[in-house]
Structure 1
Amino acid sequence: MSSPTVQHNVQLSALAHNRIHQALDAAWADSTLRKYRSVIWSFLLFCELEHIPPIARCPASEVLLCAFASSRMGNLAGDSVRNHMSALKAWHAYHNAPWHGSSRLHFVLNGVSNLAPSSSSRPPRPPVTRSMLLVLAKHLDLSVSLDACCLAAACVAMWGQLRLGEILSSWEKSFHGPLVACRSNLSAAFNANGSRKLFLPFTKFISRCNSIWSAAGIPTASGHSFRIGGTTELLLSGVPPDVVKALGRWSSDAFLRYWRKLDLLAPRHIENLPPT
């Protein structure tokens, strides 16, 4: 992350500082850091345009944070701007700078959300359903290795409430180099538990699934639809929400946002409430 000028009173050895930065560098995923860097550079450009001196950029005052947040008003969704603030907050934490975002920034972010254009929000992603898995099972040819991998990955992703990135590799330009392309041939075919490993890119998997669903007249799904679908199907099957939360490794009640078919779920779980 970009380095501002921040004064510290504690004198530490070079080794101690190196260890701190080594740990901090591993605190965020590479994909998260790429997004954060983009936000930080946008913030620094905003400061240049507003003639904010470097010494006043980090730690940033609340009025500066509010100004940057409101500069996105009318262009981005509220959640996107909140994510930008999260990036700046992480940048401050990385450099041990105090974060001055408080109640005023909170209200500014609320206003940005209320004034967001309708084009900035997208409809909820549909879940993958039990019937969609049955369609895959019917039309995939399990004698073909690709199709067998796709069905296995689809079932594991949905019922395990998994993000596809947890079980499949992502597509990147660097992934297609001649050396990396040989990984599946050089790596052991089985893991320590005796299970065969799946060498299946995310994009090839979702493309194969969507081609079958489209041919059957079913709307296409995104990668996250499997996690959403698993949560919904378990709840429809009567599994208690706290158990679904634990099985899905949710650290908070944020998973409630991903519930689908609430018209069916609500009556079913109300029936299970203990008498008062």
Structure 2
Amino acid sequence: MSLHHLSLLTSQSPASPPTSWVPGPSHLRPQCKAGEQIFLWRGTNSPPPSTIDNLVIRHIASLANRASLRDTTSYGAGLRKFHLFCDIFSIPEADRLPASFKLLHSFALWAITDPQPGDSIFLRGLRTWHIAQGWPPPLSESHHNRINWSLCSLENIQISRQRPLRPPVTLSMLVALKATLVLSDPFDACVWAIASCAFFGMMRFGEVSVTSRAAFTPSKHLTRAHTFFGVDLLGSPYACLDLPSAKTARAGEIQSVFLNEQGDLCPLAALCNLAQVVPALADDPLFSWRDSRGDIHLMAKIRALERINSILIAWGWGTSFGHSFRIGGASFYLAKKIDPEIVRIAGHWKSLAYETYIRVFEQISSRHLANAAAR
């Protein structure tokens, strides 16, 4: 069964991307000037007393605390980015202050993958925040040495790659995308199908989108005719996307991506919804949408990423990249303790055993990958 010839609904224009990139609101982090954040942004834990229990002494200590720094505004960007990181990775407020070496090491690794102005002093700002809030410095000299080792290693990798490491899309981001997109809208229905398939299918973004209308070729890019639904040996439904051209395939070789049921975020449901909202012919692009006049358009990579990133920014996650879905899907499966070899096969990462495994993978994929989101 392939995807085409279903009903059309009215198109709406995608929203313009907002420009904010901030952590979620919290009573622990009141609105204030950047220079006041290290003093007014607090944690849920109470620091140990640093003076005797006397109002006059405590007041003098507070004055000394604020007078110890001449310029605190430069620390704001790093402190905001730290709380954004904690929001993304669901770090409890109680673990943010005081912060452990493990948390700060993880934050440093994450921050360098998407550098922003002010990042060069983010650890210094977090140290100052701890001291201003009454806590001892969070990192020892050996901790700093370990973090610097990691950052220098990543810098070497980035120089060799000539582009920064991409942060992964997470399951929470996927939930936010679906909650925000209007699935009855042709453009949004296409964006959601792209996001769900790219994540759970661990697909490269160039496999689910095209750079331009002129670049589209049915012999190289996915069309509606390249999509099939079936049932495997266990009676579980799956979808198969036959890529006519893939980065890891030989010239003229078709490479198949198998998609399984995944609860509320299911790519099979996303494809069926796309077929209903955006009916198209067999030779039309798989990931396409119709405007208000009924004209069909392929989904350009830049437009899909603009819509996706506008939603991630609005939810406080900043910007992402195309390969983040492939990386995020693999990270998600591995976090769910899916066999790494299964993840490698499903994601079409090269190995000597690839051709042997892929011949039988279609009939057992649901045993390993189906409903991982629900689990």
* TM-score normalised by length of structure 1: 0.41
Bigger relative contact order (CA 8 A; separation at least 6):
2
TM, length-normalised to structure 2: 0.31
**More helix by percentage:** 1
In proportion to residue count, which structure has more strand? Answer: 2
